[in-house]
Amino acid sequence: MFDRIILVAATTTTAMLVGLFYGWSVSVIPGIARLNNTEYLSAMQAMNRAILNPMFFITFMGSVILLPLAAYLNYSQPASPRFWLIVAAAVLYIAGTFGITMARNVPLNDMLDKFNLLTATDEAKAMQRAIFEEPWNRLHSIRTVIGLLATVCMIIACLVKR
């Protein structure tokens, strides 16, 4: 029974995070793209600061912990399709969604956070946006698709026999 609870919890945290990323892709990104440079940079700084909260971390880190645990708890000899689906989801999420976020998106967020909007010229703001927006959005799209693939693997893992 514990293995099923962990399986569902891992699926839920992974789906919640990819849902957040998808929602960001289809609403926040198109919305803030319409803002001028100062408004855009200010909005991204505010949102990047606001998302650093306990509920986000529980979901974001929950999958990092729960996916490998679910794989371990669902291992059998010979290894079942469920086990391999969970392993695939864990690799996709940890190396892809989590890895891209930590290695690429977070450094861009940190760079943007240090940018002083109050003292920057209009030219500096335009340059900062150009340095940040396109790479961040591209990486976000990649991590979102990878997260979706991990979620699909987990949903299928919930449906197949052990």
Residues whose CB is less than 8 angstroms from the CB of residue 131 and which lie 6 or more positions away in sequence, other chains included: 111
What's 36's DSSP letter? -
pTM, rounded to two decimals: 0.93
| Mean pLDDT score, 67-77 | 94
pLDDT in tens, 97-133: 999 999 999 999 999 999 999 999 999 999 999 999 9
What's 58's DSSP letter? H
Compute φ and ψ for 105, nearest 5 degrees.
-70, -45
pLDDT in tens, 12-54: 999 999 999 999 999 999 999 999 999 999 999 999 999 999 9
Residues whose CB is less than 8 angstroms from the CB of residue 142 and which lie 6 or more positions away in sequence, other chains included: 96, 100
How high is the pLDDT of residue 162? 73
C-alpha 79/C-alpha 67 separation (Å) is 16
Residues whose CB is less than 8 angstroms from the CB of residue 63 and which lie 6 or more positions away in sequence, other chains included: 10, 13, 14, 17, 93, 97, 98, 150
pLDDT averaged over the chain?
97
How high is the pLDDT of residue 161? 82
Backbone dihedral region for residue 97 (phi beyond 0: left; psi -120 to 50: alpha; all else: beta) = alpha
Domain ranges in the chain are 2-159
